[in-house]
Amino acid sequence: MSFSVFRATSENTDDKVLQVSEELFTLHRKSVCVYCASSTQIDEKYFRAAEELGSLIAQNGLRLITGAGKLGLMNTIQDAALAAGGEAVGVIPTFMVNEGWHHEGLTQLIETASMHERKQTMADLSNGIIALPGGCGTMEELLEIITWKQLGLYLNPIVILNIDGYYDALLAQLATAVEENFMRSIHADIWSVATTPKEAIELLLNTPKWDKNIRKFAAI
């Protein structure tokens, strides 16, 4: 298996906009970014879900984009996609590579200068997002991409994979935000919710792109 390392660089650090090279954009075709945990101490049901999702991603001809970690669900989903004949592209800050936290068997490894550029690159390379269960990092990524979509900055499907009710409390909080007019009711259409990896892939493939003109309704 070939292994390549790219380094994404920002040409304008003042506005924090990552300029992804033309070479990186060749990775963009049919790609799904998966947010997930690096913890190794979680219930086996989450590992099974990650393994199934990784296999389904490869079987459906999709390229996997992840945070390139070598532990937890991130490691499991990458290994599953690769074992099923797929491609796995990891995006990770250089400081994490220096710590040895990266998976060394990926199809491509993309190094970034910062966590911000990591998230921007993962979004830029993706045609959709699936969020597996995770901790603060995973939920921060998920809520940020929801915000970007609300602002018309990201238009692709976002699927929350709610394994065994893991995200019930977060989904309830989002519903409360709508009910209390912190968000518009239309914003509840920004994300979809699946309970199985198969359903997550189906939603990813069948949810239309978001209309960027809805940006005008970002504020209430």
- The string of DSSP letters for 25-66 reads HTT-TTEEEEE----SSS-HHHHHHHHHHHHHHHHTTPEEEE
Tell whether 2 is covered by a domain. no
Q: What whole-number distance in Å separates Cα of residue 69 and Cα of residue 197?
A: 20
Tell whether 198 is covered by a domain. yes
Tell whether 24 is covered by a domain. no
Q: What whole-number distance in Å separates Cα of residue 93 and Cα of residue 102?
A: 9
**pLDDT at position 5:** 59
**pLDDT at position 26:** 43
**pLDDT at position 179:** 97
**pLDDT at position 215:** 81
User: Which domain does 47 fall in, by range?
Assistant: 29-205
Nearest to 125 by CA among 212, 24, 44: 24
**pLDDT at position 214:** 80
Structural domain count, the chain: 1
Which phi-psi region, left, alpha or beta, contains residue 31 (left: φ > 0; alpha: ψ -120 to 50)? beta
**pLDDT at position 41:** 97
pTM, whole model, 2 decimals?
0.88
Q: What whole-number distance in Å separates Cα of residue 194 and Cα of residue 161?
A: 5
Q: What whole-number distance in Å separates Cα of residue 197 and Cα of residue 132?
A: 9
pLDDT under 50 in the chain at which residues?
Answer: 1-3, 9-28
- 219's tokens: 């504020």
Tell whether 138 is covered by a domain. yes
**pLDDT at position 27:** 41
